[in-house]
Chains A and B, each alone.
Chain A
């Protein structure tokens, strides 16, 4: 299954990142994880939140462009090599990973957010290999 990721385009101007975070906080949108990919000109702030649709709406009201996209949130065991074996499964099936970032939650499990070139196929691969994926809502309740 897929999770909704909220991506915000921000120019590299001082204060923009904190403005985004402020809008989300004011509207009780809880950030579960984030990753900032940046270039010299702009950044893409990728967020996993408990209510992505609300986050998008509120950001838009405040003049930020954002996008909801499907990503896979994958539960991986806290063991050496578990991430690598996950990637191997995906690689072996010829799907490219666009980006990936980790999620830290106070539990025994580790989670990674993964965006592949073909998200449907990746979901099938993961299911077929018994890899567990969860939604943002489920994640919020952990």
Chain B
């Protein structure tokens, strides 16, 4: 089912005209309401009137995650707090979180976009959907929730962390859809299998996102649970889940491009590349009021296809992600930067600044091991002291990253000290 045929199936010319009109309005809006953008534009001698159509977008400056950090917490908001009705936050590259704010209108648009995605997955008002993304500062839970309510589905706000309760309710409530990370869903399928519940579920569709996954994982999910699995994409800086989603033909993710204008940039020159060429994805939020962003660099690598899809939609499709420009990892759906570990470890005087992160997937759940070396001054002959230190480091990491890590103290001088950019991550998962 197509939720909003007018917007999702308009001709390319119409879409271009709509995007142009919205961009012109947006640039005028940020120029007058966000000092950061006004200064940036003034520094390159650009006036709002210089932006006349969507083609002019390349004249505008980029926005990065660092810009959000430098303007922490509310510096990039275009409206006063009286208009902001919700705050979300995600990991920053260092200790500071990336904070975003939503007006009531922004939440409506968000629900609209998620509604389109759920419709693409065949989920509607007859469905009972379990939302098993985290509820809280993370956009996953509340974002999917808003869209599911908008389509009139029966929403079960499971959040994360209790697989047993989830599988029990899945059976007892006759849940027909679920929204969660793909790795968590694979884990759930194993829990269901071990409890002998696989033939008692009524599940038909899963909307999976918040982490990269492969076609192989989709096949595995679909076979094990006998359902259809869909890929949903989003990032809190732009909105949250629902920026794009794939339809039943799985030929890339349809972008809600009347709200988020996608560009694919050459990773060196940052100039837009031709259709089909892989580059860094950037978004301009065409309609956002709370924290409108211009040419926000996502660091995700993908390509774009603007040809009409077999499903009837004409919206541009981005391919499955091919990697990241930076070193960000997604562990259990949580964005993690190695620099965060580094910043956290500086607080622990007993260890050297050298560390290694080993990311793996065991029984479909991501695991993170952090290896550290103890500073010579803190060597001990007591097991208890080492165990206490291990616990302390794990706590510091948990506080900084929001995920549990297994801390392993290793012998001195065993962690690599490479010249220049040290390798701090071994990711054993095959995600791209």
Q: Which residues of A contact B (CB under 8 A)?
A: 5, 7, 9-11, 16, 37, 39, 41-42, 44, 46, 63-67, 69, 98-99, 115
Closest chain B CB from A1 CB (angstroms): 18
**Which residues of B are found within 8 Å of A46, using beta-carbon distances?**
381
Q: Which residues of A contact B380 (CB under 8 A)?
A: 7, 67
Between-chain CB contacts (< 8 Å), 18 pairs: A5-B381, A7-B379, A7-B381, A9-B374, A9-B386, A9-B409, A11-B414, A41-B409, A44-B382, A44-B383, A44-B386, A64-B411, A64-B412, A65-B376, A65-B379, A65-B411, A115-B381, A115-B382
Contacts of A66 in B (CB 8 A): 379
Q: B426 an interface residue at 8 Å Cβ cutoff? A: no
Closest 7 CB pairs of A and B: A7-B381, A67-B379, A65-B412, A69-B381, A37-B383, A11-B411, A63-B413
Q: Which residue of B lies closest to A115 (CB)?
A: B381
- B270 interface hit (Cβ, 8 Å): no
Judging by beta carbons under 8 Å apart, are B411 and A98 in contact? Answer: no
Residues of A contacting B: mostly: strand
Nearest B residue (CB) for A67: B379
Residue B277, interface by CB 8 Å: no
* In the assembled complex, B408 has its CB within 8 A of some CB on chain A: yes
The reply to whether the CB of B387 lies closer than 8 angstroms to some CB of chain A is: yes
* Chain B residue with the shortest CB-CB distance to A64: B411
Contacts of A11 in B (CB 8 A): 410-411, 414
B412 (CB) vs chain A CBs: closest residue: A65
Chain A nearest CB from B382 CB (Å) reads: 6
Most buried by A among B379, B384, B410: B379
B384-413 contacts to A, CB under 8 A, are 384, 386-387, 408-413
Complex interface: chain A residues within 8 A of B411 (CB): 9-11, 16, 63-65
A98 pairs with B386, CB closer than 8 A: no
Complex Cα–Cα for A98 and B384 (A): 9
Min Cβ gap A52→B in Å is: 12
Most chain A CB neighbours (cut-off 10 Å) among B379, B381, B384, B412: B381
Measured between alpha carbons, how far is A98 from B383 in the docked complex, in Å? 10
Cα distance, A67 to B381, chains bound together (Å): 7
**A34 → B minimal CB distance (Å):** 13
Contact string, B195-220, partner A, CB cutoff 8 A, digits 1/0?
Answer: 00000000000000000000000000
